[in-house]
Chains A and B, each alone.
Chain A
Amino acid sequence: MGNKKMFFSKKASGYILGKKPIYFIITLICLTISFILFSYAISREVSSTTVIPDNLEMTILTNRFLNSPDCLAYQDKETGRAYPGIIDLEKFNDEALEKCYSTEDSTLKAFKLSLESPNLNIPPEENSDNKANKYFILTPNWAARRYTQTSQYVIIYHKENFYRGRLLIAVQK
């Protein structure tokens, strides 16, 4: 006892504490860290037990781009009918994509959609410098990370004509 220091009272009138507080502080810090790590590990484990197959989620989200008239799908102005699988070239731009996939959250799936056609210049503007027949648009949460890519044959609608085309879908998470 003789080597213990007295923190609050030289006359031992208050709490008498020695190395014990240091032990308590270290123990509490260690226990708290262990608890947080343990909780985090459990949460991760629980999440990993319920993973949606990547293809399923990607298909649902890709369908949104191709099927919804609010996205890229061609819609007949007269009848209001939407044509799933037919891309309206006028809608193929970043603004339209942002309207139908409005997130900047990088933890969610991000898409890069490239359109190519053997018999249509894309983008179609005559004064465009880009003469390649391939053009891409990005969702707002796209970042420079690794991605996987698939493709899908589509029909492109442009100025009352229909063209064959292919949509390259790059997905990033």
Chain B
Amino acid sequence: MDKLTIAGRTFDSRLLVGTGKFSSPQVMAQALVASGAEIVTVALRRVDIDNPADDTLREIDRERFLLLPNTSGARTADEAVRLSRLARAATGINWVKLEVTPDPYYLLPCPVETLKAAEILVKEGFVVLPYINADPILAKRLQDVGTATVMPLGSPIGSNQGLKTRASLEIIVEQSTVPVVVDAGLGLPSHVAEAMEIGADAVLVNTAIATAGDPVEMATAFRLAVEAGRRAYKAGPRAPTHSAEASSPLTGFLRNS
């Protein structure tokens, strides 16, 4: 599989994984390894980012994984910026997955506050990966501000509904000059394969792995699906047609004569 580049850094894996909702930090650690991911995101509200002995953090091998702090829980740009600064001061990591989700139920991202926070954070030297609704114009505005990626959602987070926003995602993929990471709502390996097939650069999965009957096996399945989808995309998939087209043309013999 070809490599992924975000903010000048290259990665072999195109699967990013979240660390919430697992039954234990140990199961999480095994699933992270099985996923083949190189970027793992961790909610600043769940960990003591300045404490390496934190139950979750100590299970994440920093040699293997880039730790991507996220601002989950922030309702405003101010809160997200404050959390990001705190995380950078404590860890030296200047990457942040920007999440501004004022609605505690569907956790949908606020476009206004996200753009505001992204502007501030980029100016302060952060590598910003913003979680957004699948809004092509917002994606462009963020790209203009200088974010490292855009992370549009496939469907509401944790919903396992797959690519409900496919039509908009296709526009974002077509137009974006930064990597597009489809984030949220990807409930099955077939969903991530679909996202990769339409040209997403990467995907982020959490709930579907963490709450599976066997999270480690599910992480493996997602790894394979990401790879399958990416390779299919690179291989140049043909568009579906309404008329039949046989693999071996039935009337081919007429042309030979």
Q: Do A and B bind each other?
A: no
Binding site for A on B (CB under 8 A): none
Binding site for B on A (CB under 8 A): none
